[in-house]
Structure 1
Amino acid sequence: MATRAVYFSPSEAQILMEAYEEVKDIIKKKGNTATVIKQREKAWQSIADRLNARFFASGAFLYSVGDAEQLNKATICRTIRSVCLAIKALADVFISFPGHRRLCDIKEEFYRIAGFPNVIGAVDCTHIRIKAPSGAHEADFVNRKSFHSINVQMVCNADCVISNVVAKWPGSVHDSRIFRTSEIYQCLSQGEFSGVLLGDRGYGCQPFLLTPFTDPQEAQQAYNHAHARTRARVELTFGLLKALFHCLHKLRVSPVRACDITVACVVLHNVACLRKERAPRVPPAMDWDNPAIFPDDDSGRLLRDQYVLNYFS
């Protein structure tokens, strides 16, 4: 069966390959799950590099990727899987909450966006489309838009570096439920970090997670406006991630492998951000407008009112 070769622009290829080279060097130094890469001959390394770059950047079918490099599907799967897991193993190095900079600098960068103080991250979830999984839990992966997906939580900084990622939940699980069961929720609720996250109306207002007012008055409108402009940075981050890694538009793999690939892409995204690579063009993001399933916390509402009184009145 004939397949159409998939290509990506020279600028996209350059960004991805430079980021991949940096990560690969670190993998070699650590000598962990990437020992297979070490043992490859120089010619095979060149093919493997092109293979992974083509898959992550284009999201092509494995057959299309293999045809471009004259490799069979089994070889492609093994190579992409081994490199994916090796990159994912670096998550603790490149994904760190609240970030790789001083807390005061993180807050200052968010404040410059719209004058919203004390912000240490913007949180939201994004759906990664997957093929329909087999098994008894197939229906769990059908989301509110009626397609199969995994629902991935991310927290980002003002410079679009992703400081936290949770990739393990099926598409039917609500954003706020993912947040409440996450490690970052436990850390924030125990007061381990000084500052607040910004989230949309799908989250209940907490003393460490501020949400917009539903029916704002005049001063509350100013708060909502600054909140929306600042929180929009996480939507921009999703757009940048999916624009650079087209494979995230649909992963034709099992849910577990889809989660692994997503985390690997986040690692590479952060490497590109830290290297200050030129960002790809980002299409408009789709707002899922999730309804809240948990009520606002009284102390969260009180803190939100104090923000309005102290900063937006």
Structure 2
Amino acid sequence: MKEEFHRTAVHCILGFPNVIGCVDGTHIPIRAPSENEGDYVNRKSIHSINVQVICDAAHIITNVEATWPGSVRDSQIYRESPVSHRIERGHFDGYLLGDRGYPCRSTLLTPYPDPEPGPQQHFNVAHCRTRAQVEMTIGLLKARFQCLRHLRVTPERACDIIVACVVLHNIATIRGEQHPALQIEADEDPIPAADMQDGSAVRGVVCHNHFTV
């Protein structure tokens, strides 16, 4: 699935300007594959596909990468994804929000690792509450499709099923179908990625302009 962002996806939540979406990774367990088995073992020692999800404020999944084995970090998946290249080249006017598992870049804002009292703390609180959109979206996806709790198929087949579930989730969301009982999983603390200097500068400007009381 290679859906791209639309102008209508640009939104402002809790003070953040021009947020085009929130990004996160989620692991979909699979049975141990016969080839390259070790590549699929994640940090919890479970075989999985690490799926990158980008969503908007309406819980529509605007982009999904479902081809990476569980041992690959979120930051690498984002760095090598086509959507990141398009965002970096300025095809979209706005920011993604991600957790500390991603590097802070000029187009991908992450929280301050050690926020100072005042604007930086306000930035982090608003960032966390806004980024909760993607955690809720992933929770809705998994609640709608119980098969995603464990796919007993090959990695290639698992990727196809994951993308199909995302498409059906979007259709259900657009049609206003009733939400299933939501269960948000508690993720491990992400391994912090190194900040990019230009990203830190942009984060500082956003913090100063929008979170200074």
TM range, normalised to the smaller chain?
A: over 0.9
Match for 1:140 among 22, 39, 44? 39
- Residue 90 of structure 2 corresponds to 191
Which runs of no fewer than 5 residues in structure 1 stay unpaired? Answer: 1-90
* Alignment partners' CA distance in 2, 1:157 and 1:166: 16
State the partner residue of 1:174: 73
Identity over aligned residues, as a percent? Answer: 53
Retained in 2: the 8 A contact 1:176–1:292? Answer: no
User: What's 2:17 paired with?
Assistant: 117
Q: Secondary structure at the match of 2:24?
A: strand
- Correspondent of 2:158 among 246, 255, 258: 258
CA distance in 2, matches of 1:118, 1:288: 28
1:100-249 alignment, distance < 5 Å? 103=7, 105-108=8-11, 111=12, 113-135=13-35, 137-217=36-116, 218-249=118-149
Partner of 2:199: 300
What residue in structure 2 maps to residue 98 of structure 1?
5
Post-superposition CA distance 1:232-285 (Å, at most 9, x none): 100001100000000000000001000000000000000001111111111132
Following superposition of structure 1 onto structure 2, how do residues 51-66 of structure 1 map, counting pairs within 5 Å? Answer: none
**How far apart are residue 188 of structure 1 and its match?**
1.0
Residue type of the alignment partner of 1:277: E
Pick the aligned partner of 1:267 from 152, 167, 174: 167
How far is 1:296 from its partner?
A: 1.2
Secondary structure of the structure 1 residue equivalent to 2:208: helix
Contact 2:97 2:109 (C-alpha < 8 Å) held by counterparts: yes
The CA distance in 1 between the partners of 2:134 and 2:74, in whole Å, is 14
Runs of 4+ in structure 1 deviating by more than 3 angstroms, as ranges, are none
2:112, 2:22 → 1: CA distance? 17
Count of residue correspondences: 211
SS in 2 for 1:114: coil
Post-superposition shift, 1:288? 2.4
CA offsets, 1:106-151, max 9 Å, x none? 333xx2x42211100100110000011112x101100001110000
The structure that is helix-richer by fraction is 1
Look up the SS of the partner of 2:22 in the other structure: strand
Work out which of the two has the higher radius of gyration on C-alpha atoms and give 1 or 2.
Answer: 1
Within 5 Å, give how 1:28-67 maps onto structure 2: none
3-state DSSP of counterpart to 2:23: strand
CA distance in 2, matches of 1:252, 1:107: 37
> C-alpha displacement at 1:308, in angstroms?
1.1
What is the CA–CA distance in structure 1 between the aligned matches of 2:184 and 2:55, rounded to whole Å? 18
TM-score of the two chains, using structure 2 as the length reference:
0.96
Asked which structure has the greater RCO (Cα within 8 Å, sep 6+), the reply is 2
What displacement does 1:160 show? 0.5
Instruction: Kindly indicate whether the alpha-carbon contact (under 8 Å) linking 2:15 and 2:211 is maintained by their aligned counterparts in 1.
Output: no
Q: Normalising by structure 1, what TM-score?
A: 0.66
